[in-house]
Amino acid sequence: MIRIAIDAMGGDLAPAAIVKGAIESLSSCPNTKLLLYGEEKAIQEECAKYQYDTERIEIIPCSENISLHESPVMAIRRKKDSSIVRGMKAVKEGEAEAFLSAGSTGAILAGGQLIVGREKGVLRPPLAALMPTRQGVTLLTDCGANVDAHPEWLVQFAKMGAIYMKEMLGVSSPAVGLVNIGAEEEKGNALVKAAMEKCKEEKDLNFIGSVEARDIVEGNCSVVVADAFVGNVVLKMYEGVGKMLLSEIKSGIKEGGPLSLVGGALISSALRKRMTKFDAKSYGGAPILGLKGLVVKVHGNTDGVEITTAIRQAKEFAEKGLTKKIAEALDFSDKEDESKEEA
C-alpha cells in the first residue's frame, strides 16, 4: 500500500478541491492510502459529500496552517502542527512515501530541505515540471526553487532531470539543453557560460548545448535546464500563452457567426484533444528532486483535477523508487555536503 500524505489546507480552493481530487483518485490509483492533514471538521464536511472506501482515506487533525504571506522558514520552524510540517514529517519518518501540497511554495521548498532533507552531496534541490511540446513533453528544471544559482547546481539539475525522464517516461538517452538567449557559443551570461562548459565535461550526459525559449516547444530537448528565475518565467509564459490561445480560438468561433459556430462544432472534438496538451492539470505537480523523500508542489489554483493527477504521479514515482535511484545513480561524493545549511 502506497501511503501519500496530502496537505488538505493548501491551495485557493482548499479543502474542497483537495478532498475532491483525493477521492476521485481512488478509482484510478489502487493500492494507495491517502492521509489528509488539516482542519478535521472542514475535511470531514467535504468528505461527507462523496461515497468512497473509507479504509483508504485517513484524516490527520492539525491545529495550524501556513499562509502565503508568512516567512516560509519561520513558519516551518514555528508551526509544528501545521498540515505542511506534519505531512513532511510523515515522509521523513517513513509513515508516507510522498507528500503533496498546493500551499505556499516557499514553505514547501523550505520544509523539503529542513524537514525531509537533501540527499548527501545534492547542492540544491530543484523544482521540476513537465511541459507539453510538439513531440510530447519536456522536463523544465529548475522552475521555482533556486533563483540565484551556481554553475555546479545547474549541472546537478541536468543530471537529476535526465534520470527522471529515463525512469519515469522511458526516454533511453534524454537530450539535455541549457536555456540561453542564442545558440552561439559566445551567447549567455556568466552563469550560463560556466554551466555550459561544465555540462560538456559530463560524459554520461547527453548534452546538446543551448536551447532558446522559442525552441522549447518543438521538443528537441527531453530536459531543459535553467536557474529558477529564468525557469519560472518560461513556465508562466508557457501557461499564459496556452490559456490565451484557447480563449482566442473560442472567441473567434463565437464572433464568426452561424457558419463559424457550425464549423467549430465539427472540429471541437479534435481541437479539444489537441488543446488538452496545454492544460497544466494533466501533468500533475512539480516534484522537488534530490530530497530524501518525495515532495510534490501542485498549482495553488487547482480545482482538484491536478491533485488526482499528482497522486497518480506520486504513486508511480514511489513504486519505481525514483528518489533512491537518483541518489544511487549520481556520484556526488566529491561535492560539499551542504545538507545542514538553511533553505
CB 72 within 8 A of CB 114: no
pLDDT digit string (tens) for 268-315? 776 666 666 666 566 778 999 999 999 999 988 888 899 999 999 999
Q: Among residues 120, 23, 94, 62, which one has the least CA distance to residue 294?
A: 94
Q: Which residue has the higher pLDDT, 100 or 184?
A: 100
| Rounded CA separation 93/137 (Å) | 33
What's the whole-number mean pLDDT along residues 75-85? Answer: 96
Q: DSSP labels for 168-232?
A: HH--SS--EEEE-S-SSTT-S-HHHHHHHHHHHT-TTS-EEEEE-HHHHTTT--SEEE--HHHHH
User: Average pLDDT in the 327-343 region?
Assistant: 54
Computed over every residue of the chain, the mean pLDDT equals: 88
Q: Is 336 helix (H, G, I), strand (E, B) or coil?
A: coil
pLDDT at res. 75: 94
Bridge partners (DSSP) of residue 177 are: 209, 224
Q: Are 88 and 316 in contact (CB under 8 A)?
A: no
User: What pLDDT was estimated at residue 110?
Assistant: 94
Q: Give the per-residue pLDDT at 254.
A: 76
What are 234-259's pLDDT values in tens digits?
998 888 887 787 778 778 777 777 77
Q: Using 50, 70 and 90 to split pLDDT, how confident is the model at 190?
A: very high
Q: What is the mean pLDDT of residues 190-202?
A: 94
What SS3 class is residue 267?
Answer: helix
What was the pLDDT predicted at 341? 45
Indicate if the pLDDT at residue 338 is higher than 80.
Answer: no
**What is the structure's pLDDT at 239?**
81
Q: Phi first, then psi: what are they for 91, rounded to 5°?
A: -70, -45
**Whole-angstrom Cα distance, residue 298 to residue 178?**
25
**Residue 140 identity (one-letter amino acid):** L
pTM assigned to the model? 0.88
pLDDT tens digits, residue range 132-182? 888 889 999 999 999 999 999 999 999 999 999 998 889 999 999 999 998
DSSP 123-176: S-PPBEEEEEETTEEEEEE-SSS-SS--HHHHHHHHHHHHHHHHHHH--SS--E
Residue among 190, 313, 181 at smallest CA distance from 234: 181
| pLDDT, mean of residues 204-212 | 94
- CA 26 centroid distance within chain: 21
Amino acid at 78: R
Name residue 58's amino acid. E
Lowest mean pLDDT among 97-106, 108-117, 235-244, 323-332: 323-332
- pLDDT for the residue numbered 271: 66
Share of the chain above pLDDT 90, in %: 65
Residue 27 has pLDDT above 70, yes or no: yes
